[in-house]
């Protein structure tokens, strides 16, 4: 046999082996979705909706400046809960921490099992001054118009608090008895970090030696048309949240008259430093929660997409390049760099003596404030620039190949049988991170079906939710409690 024929034969054999291996990998991909059992929950919807609507009228607004809190509204809200859910307050123990953080305990029958917690927050963000006019319904009216409930908290996150209480109330009516201790924990300052709410709740529970098998908080939703190539709506459950760091870059030195500048100025050096950071970027790596999302979504895709994701050992660089094309998917696989403030100069003909910039970075799990500081210093390589980094570390990554995660999947699919429920990485912060200390797993999921435009309304204008969505959220919470206690 001629030499070139032999080479060709070897190459063809290798190609054949490659095809066999990769197709075999693809064939092995199977759905990670549990089979749903359609929910049988029947609610008195009219009453449930009316109670939710009224809960939205209390102005439980949290402000960065704590002295601005109107605690009379918080008192009225708590009183409203007691009045609206008498059976819950009858059957469950209620402990108030820092007066306004609420911890309800529903005693289970089996002391050998670890408790499970459901959590949410009833504070809401203020309505931005000057945007009141743009609301189609008053943000604190709780108006119900054409099957839609309007107001602050309909998405973030009175829906969680009232939805959970409504679910508990329903289960009590059905004489349901949990096997595990169930905790329902509601913060009142999540929007400003949760220091006095969630964090204080966790401190108290930690002192009593309580550890959860899992805690469910607000977070990702079920989103239509979220993943190209997947017809089903995809419900994303945050198994981790990114850290948020503030890096300040500053430089001080001689100013001087603008008629005879040095070749290097303060503004120029800070600008150059930012340009270098944007050019370099943190390494992208499809790992952890981002990778997990695709592991769960890929089985529902076409053969081609399944093939690519099932053989990520070959295609990972290609997948990463595609994800880097869009800011939302890029944020899933790398620490992001966002310059948000730039300050220098006052007068057109004077060189400023000081220039500074603030960069907001969102940290991937595994990245730390320390490693961010190192990265910035190494990248800008300018000793005259002072770099300080502060902020919050990324959360722990919860496991998803577990019965706990399957509880969430099952509960959601019992109500939304069509939805694919997958793990993912949350970019925004939540109270959930406080629970990392006392819970094996923390999941971040708001069981409602939304479009991506709905998500933008969360802290914005015209926050609202459809009546159907609200009713389904109650059902999912009730299903979580039932499935977790099977």
CB under 8 Å to 353, separation ≥6 — which residues?
A: 252, 253, 254, 255, 266
366 to each of 359, 395, 464, how far by Cα in Å? 20, 9, 36
Q: Does 156 bind Zn ion (CB under 5 A)?
A: yes
Site stretch for Zn ion (CB under 5 A), options 2-10, 145-153, 157-165, 359-367: 157-165
Q: List Cα–Cα distances, 400 to 40, 86, 425, 429, in angstroms.
A: 27, 36, 12, 20
List the one residue out of 33, 43, 78 whose CA is nearest residue 60: 78
Q: Least distance from C-beta 153 to Zn ion, angstroms?
A: 9
Nearest distance, CB of residue 435 and Zn ion, angstroms: 14
Closest approach, Cβ 34 to Zn ion, in A, equals 27
Which of 157, 181, 189, 190 is the catalytic position? 190
Residue 63 or residue 342: which is nearer to Zn ion going by CB?
63
DSSP 85: -
By CB under 5 A, which span of 40-48, 153-161, 202-210, 256-264 interacts with Zn ion?
153-161
Closer Cβ to Zn ion, 156 or 300, answer by number = 156
* Least distance from Zn ion to the Cβ atom of residue 409, Å: 22
Identify whether 70 is a catalytic site residue.
no
Q: Which is nearer to Zn ion, 154 or 312 (CB)?
A: 154
The residue within the footprint of Zn ion, chosen from 123, 157, 217, 367 (CB under 5 A), is 157
Nearest to 360 by CA among 382, 391, 381: 391
| In the complex, minimum distance from the CB of residue 156 to Zn ion, in angstroms, rounded to a whole number | 4
123 binds Zn ion (CB under 5 A): no
Decide: is 463 part of the binding site for Zn ion (CB under 5 A): no
Is 231 labeled as catalytic in the residue annotation? no
Q: What is the 3-state secondary structure (H, E, C) of 124-190?
A: ECCCCCCCHHHCCCCCCCCCEECCEEECCCCCCCHHHHHHHHHHHHHHHHCCCCCCCCEEEEEECCH
156 or 454: CB nearest Zn ion = 156
Hunting for tokens 């940290």 — which residue is that? 363
CA distances to 46, 140, 410 from 416, rounded to whole Å, are: 21, 29, 9
CB nearer Zn ion, residue 157 or residue 367: 157
Nearer to Zn ion, 218 or 320 (CB): 218
What does residue 44 show for φ and ψ, rounded to 5 degrees? -85, 90
Which residue of the set 123, 218, 300, 436 is catalytic?
Answer: 123
We find the least distance from the C-beta atom of residue 430 to Zn ion, in angstroms, to be: 6
> 3-state DSSP call for residue 414?
helix
For the chain, the maximum distance between any two Cα atoms, rounded to a whole number of angstroms, is 92
How far is CA 23 from its chain centroid? 35
Interface contacts to Zn ion, rule CB under 5 A = 156-157
Active site residues: 123, 190
């Amino acid at each position: 046999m001629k030499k070139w024929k032999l080479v060709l034969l070897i190459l063809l054999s290798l190609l054949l082996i490659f095809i066999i291996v990769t197709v075999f990998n693809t064939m092995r991909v199977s759905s990670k979705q549990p089979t749903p059992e359609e929910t049988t929950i029947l609610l008195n919807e009219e009453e449930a909706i009316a109670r939710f609507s009224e809960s939205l009228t209390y102005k439980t607004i949290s402000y960065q400046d704590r002295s601005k809190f109107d605690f009379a509204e918080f008192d009225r809200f708590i009183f409203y809960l007691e009045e609206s859910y008498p059976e819950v307050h009858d059957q469950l123990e209620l402990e108030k921490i820092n007066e306004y953080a609420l911890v309800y305990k529903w005693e289970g029958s089996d002391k050998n099992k670890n408790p499970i917690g459901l959590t949410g927050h009833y504070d809401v963000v203020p309505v931005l001054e000057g945007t009141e006019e743009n609301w189609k319904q008053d943000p604190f009216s709780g108006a119900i118009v054409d099957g839609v409930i309007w107001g602050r908290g309909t998405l973030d996150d009175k829906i969680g608090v009232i939805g959970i209480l409504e679910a508990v109330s329903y289960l009590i009516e059905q004489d349901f008895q949990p096997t595990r201790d169930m905790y329902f924990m509601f913060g009142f300052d999540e929007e400003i970090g949760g220091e006095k709410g969630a964090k204080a709740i966790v401190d108290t529970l930690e002192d009593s030696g309580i550890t959860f098998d899992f805690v469910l908080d607000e977070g990702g939703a079920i989103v239509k048309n979220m993943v190209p190539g997947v017809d089903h709506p995809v419900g994303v459950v945050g198994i981790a949240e990114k850290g948020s760091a503030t890096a300040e870059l500053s430089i001080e030195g001689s100013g001087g008259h603008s008629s005879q500048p040095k070749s290097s100025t303060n503004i120029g050096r800070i600008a150059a430093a930012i340009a270098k950071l944007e050019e370099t970027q943190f390494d992208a790596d499809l790992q952890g929660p981002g990778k997990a999302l695709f592991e769960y979504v890929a089985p529902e895709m076409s053969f081609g997409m399944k093939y690519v994701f099932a053989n990520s050992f070959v295609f990972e660089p290609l997948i990463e390049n595609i994800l880097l094309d869009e800011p939302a998917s890029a944020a899933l696989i790398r620490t992001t760099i966002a310059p948000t403030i730039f300050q220098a100069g006052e007068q057109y003909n004077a060189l400023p003596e000081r220039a500074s910039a603030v960069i907001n970075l969102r940290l991937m799990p595994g990245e730390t404030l320390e490693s961010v500081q190192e990265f910035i210093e190494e990248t800008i390589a300018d000793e005259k620039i002072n770099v300080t980094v502060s902020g919050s570390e990324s959360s722990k990554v919860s496991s998803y190949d577990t019965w706990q995660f399957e509880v969430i999947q099952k509960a959601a699919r019992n109500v939304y049988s069509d939805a694919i429920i997958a793990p993912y990485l949350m970019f925004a912060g939540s109270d959930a991170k406080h629970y990392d200390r006392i819970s094996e797993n923390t999941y971040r999921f708001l069981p409602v079906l939304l479009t991506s435009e709905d998500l933008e309304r969360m802290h914005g204008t015209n926050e609202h939710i459809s009546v159907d969505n609200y009713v389904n959220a109650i059902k999912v919470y009730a299903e979580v409690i039932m499935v977790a206690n099977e």
